[in-house]
Amino acid sequence: MQRSSPVGKCPIQISLSVIGGKWKPVILWFLKDGPVRFSGIQKKIPEITQMMLTKQLRELVADGMIERTVYPEVPPRVDYGITDDGRSVFPFLWR
């Protein structure tokens, strides 16, 4: 489910709202090699707060850049993995 794009914004503004900022490109980078659990992302980015990581992950999921997989286990296990849309931004972010 993608967030709605404001009418009248140019494609660059829309793109930056999806992948811009301090943490989203870093999160995408750490997901490039395969799914990672929340705690794994936290360990790779120790400077990010738990609240900010949660917010950024929710936004990336809502925009279709990453997917959240919940496994029916006790205790529950959740993995985050990059989608094809998320992978498609790599040439623009890293050359």
- Residue 4's alpha-carbon distances to 10, 13, 14, 65, in angstroms, are 14, 13, 10, 14
Question: Where are the domains positioned within the chain?
Answer: 23-93
Q: What contacts 56, CB < 8 A, 6 or more positions away?
A: 21, 23, 24, 27, 48
Total Cβ atoms within 10 A of residue 29: 15
How does pLDDT run across 38-76, given as a tens digit for each residue?
A: 999 999 999 999 999 999 999 999 999 999 999 999 988
Between 14 and 21, residue with greater pLDDT? 21
Q: Which two tokens stand for residue 28?
A: 């995408």
pLDDT of residue 5: 54
Q: What contacts 89, CB < 8 A, 6 or more positions away?
A: 19, 28, 65
Q: What is the value of pTM for the model shown?
A: 0.82
pLDDT of residue 1: 47
Assigned CATH class of 23-93: mainly alpha
Banded model confidence at residue 93, pLDDT cuts 50, 70, 90: confident
Q: Which of 24, 28, 23, 30 shows the shortest CA–CA distance to 86?
A: 28
* DSSP label of 75: S
